[in-house]
Homo-oligomer: A and B are copies of this chain.
Amino acid sequence: MKGIRQLAEHLDISIGTVSRALNGKPDVNDETRRRVLAAAEELGYVANQSGRSLRQGMTNVIGLMLEVSRETIENSDDFFLGVTDGLQSVFSRHKLDLVMLPCPDDEDPHEYLKRMVARRLVDALILSATRRTDRRIELLEKARIPFVALGRSASGGSYTWMDLDFEGVAARGVDRLVAKGHRRIAVAAPSSDINLGYLFVDAYRQALQRHGIAFDPALVIRVKSSEQGGYQAGHELLMIEERPTAIILIHELMAIGLYRRLAEAGIVPGRDLAVVGFREEPRTHFLQPTLTSFRMSLRDLGAQLGETLLATMPAYADHYPQGARNRIWPLELVPGESDAFTLNQKNRA
């Protein structure tokens, strides 16, 4: 890392000229400007620390960190674009801009975030895809950077988070299926250590307990959160000895792959197997029979997330007195045909 002095020496040009070239002043000829900028990039010139630090907290930009795996690419859904829309509707009130920070698949999210913090691109951050143990939370706490986590975690102190009501989905799914006579209810849960998987399976187990149904670990099918994962879940379900009569899914796109695997086996959702999907998504609208799933407004979630974040930032907190608290975001059940049938006594035996 070089400063302006080293740059001037290297180019054999006065510091004043180098500074004017870097500052885009008009009294520098094009050729000199080009040489200075090229050398600055080449030598890894870094503006003096005070100049950089002065910007801290004043970029007027908020970052949304995303994880971009091969899996997310192939299964891109409307979730983050929808949330972005809501976030921007709030940030624009304060002339704040949103940038998306895509963490590559092959990089450790903690290391990536560390670098983003060092780059001082943003005043505040939104984390997504929180893990059970998530070191990113301590990192931001220590760096005193305002943030909100979209997703809970066992890590960190008293940070602010928002999360979907995974427990509510699991409980209402089980209640609904039990009311229709089902007792062997499988779940398709994520195979990763994403925190929502823990929350969901815990809530599922508790709901079964409320109904006096023993928890059977064989009915927790661990697959990828994707269409392909749904296909795999269908495949594994068909191989379970005493086959479940119902399944609850924990990712929006799983239903598409599951329907495909069931069709291959001649099994019709809502007639031969009850299926409760997760979040209603444009793509799942095309499924036949229609899918029982849960509705939410991504834009409203994004707007609430934006307000919650601003409530944690001193300059904006006054505008959002109710904002800086943790929130579970509700989802509304939308009944479809996929879990329409009721088990009679003969089936149950």
Contact = CB atoms under 8 A, between A and B. Distances in A.
Contact of A54 (B22, B99, B227): B22
A143 to B, nearest CB: 9
Contacts of A99: 63, 99-102, 121
B116 A97 contact: yes
Nearest to A91: B104
Given A47-B51, A282-B227, A41 B313 contact: yes
Contact of A47 (B19, B55, B97, B105): B55
A337 to B, nearest CB: 17
A34 interface: yes
30 contacts: A22-B54, A23-B53, A24-B144, A34-B314, A38-B315, A41-B123, A41-B313, A41-B314, A47-B55, A48-B54, A51-B55, A59-B119, A59-B121, A61-B119, A68-B85, A70-B85, A73-B85, A73-B298, A74-B78, A74-B282, A75-B282, A76-B77, A84-B102, A85-B104, A88-B102, A92-B107, A97-B101, A97-B115, A100-B100, A100-B101
Given A41-B313, A42-B314, A85-B105, 5 more contacts: A41-B123, A52-B55, A61-B119, A68-B88, A99-B100
Interface of A: 4, 19, 22-24, 34, 37-38, 40-42, 45-61, 63, 68, 70, 72-78, 81-82, 84-85, 88-89, 92, 97-102, 104-105, 107, 115-116, 119, 121, 123, 144, 227, 256, 260, 282-283, 286, 298, 313-316
